[in-house]
A and B are shown apart, each in its own frame.
Chain A
Amino acid sequence: MADVSFLKTEALKRHFGGIKAVDGVDFTLNRGEIRAIIGPNGAGKSTFVSLLSGRTEASSGRVVFEGEDITRLPAFKRVRKGIAYTFQITNIYRELSVVENVAIAVQGRFSNDASGARHPAGAIEPEARAILARVGLAEMAERKAGELAYGHQRLLEVGMGLALQPELLILDEPTQGLADSEIAGFCDLVREIAKSATVLLIEHNMDVVMALAGRITVMSQGRILAEGSPDEIRANADVQAAYLGK
């Protein structure tokens, strides 16, 4: 299969001084899957996805996306290649309207369209509103983004990711701070997104992980400890020792 090397890392490392946040990770992600990365605090999960998105530069090793070495590519160019990233701590344009938040993302995609298709400026706002409808925020389009409830801000953030029509959407702890009542809806949204994009999520909520992920990668101390289906991970003794603390 040609598709197996959708995203691959080889001996990827990131050291902060003496701290080996990511310490030699070989990782493969296949097109179309929903993959969860779990692990105890400080396992290096966030640093690892930062290396994928380009927000952090690798100390050594390689990141290969669709057969191309992107290890030294700046973050914005990776976004243009189809890797979208949503921040762990909600990171939106708080002072701008909800629809403008998404419009900025839409314009970003339009102006860097690899297919060379031309998009009139007038197409940006309708597209932004369509995306708001998809994430269920259509009624709040004119509100100031910073005034939204936290759960809605998370949805807006995902909407901005969607607006990029990414091939790979990286969600860094997307359900953190969401009420239980909001989580089910959020899982539905992720499944919906997964129809058109590969999803990589860091998640602490085990119910969410077990419900969504096709495969799970467990990190511990900057390395991959185990990888497998939810059932395999549940049964893995190493994982239980390192992660569940039993």
Chain B
Amino acid sequence: MTSSDTRKSLVLHGVVLVLLFAVQFAASDYMTLTLTRMMVLAVFAMGFNILYGYTGLLSLGHAVFFGAGVYGAGLTIYHLGWPVPLAFAAGIIGSAVVAAGIGALALRTVRDSFMILTMMLSQVGFLLVLYFNTVTGGDQGLSLPQASRVFTLAGASVDLAQPVTRYNIAFVLLLVTVALSFTLLQGPFGRVLRAIRENEARTEMLGYDVRRAKFFAFVISGTVAGMAGAAYAILFGYIGATFTGIQYSIEALLFTLLGGAGTLLGPLLGTVLMTMLIDRLSEITSAYFLWLGFILIALTLWFPKGLLGAIRQRWLPWLT
């Protein structure tokens, strides 16, 4: 990729982010809330995409990292009364540790076995949450105490009951994720990941430590997903077992596939479209999962590269 391509791509990402920031001045409270949720879930999907879209490793258990973030932040607030910023860090670190552990195990396998193993290990997380329901609240979940809805950060008081505050926290999270991903994936490490995705055997024979690179990608991917989980718990004040369930793993995959795996903004676009769709569908029918299944089939048949993937192929080859 040439430097002018990078510049075009940077401008596009900048414009999208500026628009997203500006939306809050025009949006209703409901819209603001929905977008906040979308942005946090988009960060989750972006984390997933680092592993799937850029490294070519399909994990079917990313909910466990999201969940590790949710519980890392939520439980430290609920039981230990940690201040919000510290609990947020605990969520991130917790998910990084979980990702390192699961990665060390799962990366011993490839393809189908890798998918099955990540899914199983994720279910272990889900079942642990249920098993220790006296601590975690099980599938009933826990509401975080009101006291944790207001905290001070660098002298400023932050009130999480304010939709606009939550919106901007989610926005900053998204901004940081996009910036980090851009730097990481456009640089030498991104080249290694793409090389592994395209041809693992060849990459090893060019002198790359493929196992180590895959492990790093796995941990980064899981940590970003966990960061989204920690933010979700803090912003919405609720933690529950569903966050570690298979549904969340599949949603990360769906969002990414729809928007375009291996594109930076694909997960964001996919998350926005898909959550809107789920909202509409669930108003009409209780069988909305059936429709999601049809969408997934249609995607694989006609848009295997997702919306942004197709756009990149046809019109915007410089898209990152």
What residues of chain A have their CB less than 8 Å away from a CB belonging to chain B?
Answer: 53, 55, 75-76, 79-80, 84-85, 87, 91-96, 100, 103-105, 107-109, 111-112, 121, 160, 164
Q: How far is the CB of A206 from chain B (nearest CB, A)?
A: 28
Q: How far is the CA of A85 from the CA of B204 in the complex (A)?
A: 11
CA distance A160 to B192 in the complex (A): 15
Contact assessment for B206 and A164 in the assembled complex, using a CB-CB cutoff below 8 Å? yes
Do B207 and A108 have beta carbons less than 8 Å apart? yes
A79 with B205: in contact, given A93-B199, A111-B188 (CB under 8 Å)?
Answer: yes
- Given A104-B191, A107-B191, A108-B206, 4 more A-B residue pairs with CB atoms under 8 Å apart are A87-B205, A96-B198, A108-B207, A121-B188
- Determine whether the beta carbon of B188 is less than 8 Å from that of A76: no
Q: How far is the CB of A70 from chain B (nearest CB, A)?
A: 14
14 contacts between A and B (CB under 8 A): A53-B205, A80-B207, A85-B205, A87-B202, A87-B205, A91-B201, A93-B202, A96-B198, A103-B191, A104-B203, A104-B206, A109-B207, A111-B188, A164-B207
Within 8 A of A (CB), among B130-156: none
> Known: A107-B188, A121-B188. Contact between A93 and B208, CB under 8 A?
no
B164 within 8 Å of A by Cβ? Answer: no
In the bound complex, how far is the Cα of B199 from the Cα of A32, in angstroms? 31
Q: Is B209 an interface residue (CB 8 A)?
A: yes
A100 to B203, CA, bound (A): 13
Q: Does B194 make an interface contact (CB < 8 A)? A: yes
The B contact surface, by secondary structure, is: helix
Chain A residue numbers with a CB within 8 Å of B202 are: 87, 91-93, 160
Let me know if B195 and A93 touch, CB within 8 A. yes
Q: Which chain A residues border B209 with CB–CB below 8 Å?
A: 76
Question: A76 contacts B198, CB within 8 Å?
Answer: no
Q: Assuming the A-B contacts A104-B191, A121-B187, are A91 and B199 also in contact, with contact meaning beta carbons closer than 8 angstroms in the complex? A: yes
| Min CB gap A27→B, angstroms | 21
* Least CB separation from A163: chain B residue: B206
Question: Is B89 engaged at the interface, CB distance under 8 Å to the other chain?
Answer: no
* Distance of A28 Cα from B130 Cα, bound (Å): 63
The digit string for B40-61, where 1 denotes a CB below 8 A from any CB of A, is 0000000000000000000000
Chain A residues touching B, majority SS = helix
CB of B210 within 8 Å of the partner chain: yes
Interface residues of B in 245-290 (CB under 8 A from A): none
- Would you call B206 and A105 a contact (CB within 8 A)? yes
The residues of B with any CB-CB pair to A shorter than 8 Å are: 187-188, 191-192, 194-195, 198-199, 201-210
Known A-B contacts A107-B188, A121-B188; the reply to A93 vs B206 at CB < 8 A is no
User: In the complex, which residues of chain B have a beta carbon less than 8 angstroms from the beta carbon of A95?
Assistant: 198
- B213–chain A nearest beta-carbon distance, Å: 10
The answer to whether A96 touches B194 (Cβ under 8 A) is yes
**Min CB–CB distance B28 → chain A (angstroms):** 44
The chain B residue sitting closest to A81, CB to CB, is B207
Chain A's closest residue to B205 (CB) is: A85
Q: CB distance B207 to A79 under 8 Å?
A: yes
In the docked arrangement, what's the CA distance between A103 and B192, Å? 10
List residues of chain B with CB within 8 A of the CB of A93: 195, 198-199, 202
B199 nearest in chain A by CB position: A93
Cβ contacts under 8 Å, A79 to chain B: 204-207
Could you say which residues of chain B place their CB within 8 Å of the CB of A94?
A: 198-199
Which A residues touch B191, using CB under 8 A?
A: 100, 103-104, 107
Closest chain B residue, CB of each to CB of A80: B207
Give the Cβ gap from B279 to chain A, nearest Cβ, in Å. Answer: 36
Q: Which residues of A contact B207 (CB under 8 A)?
A: 76, 79-80, 108-109, 112, 164
How far, in whole Å, are A96 and B202 apart by their CA atoms in the complex?
13
Q: Is the Cβ of B204 less than 8 Å from the Cβ of A104? A: no
What residues on B are CB-neighbors of A80 within 8 Å? 207
Residues of B within 8 A of A84 (CB): 205
Please report the C-alpha to C-alpha distance between residue A109 and residue B205 in the assembled complex, in whole angstroms: 11
- What residues of A have a CB within 8 angstroms of the CB of B188 in the complex? 107, 111, 121
Closest CB in chain B relative to A241 CB, distance in Å: 36
Inter-chain CA distance A232–B203, complex, in Å, is 39
Most A CB within 10 A of own CB, among B194, B206, B209, B210: B206
Distance in angstroms between the alpha carbons of A87 and B201 in the assembled complex: 10
A76-B188 Cα distance, complex, nearest whole Å: 17
Q: Which residue of A lies closest to B203 (CB)?
A: A104
Closest A residue to B198 by beta carbon equals: A93
A145 to chain B, nearest CB (A): 10
A76, B201: Cβ atoms under 8 Å?
A: no
In the complex, what distance in Å separates the CA atom of A79 from the CA atom of B207?
Answer: 5
How many angstroms between the C-alpha atoms of A178 and B17 in the bound complex? 51
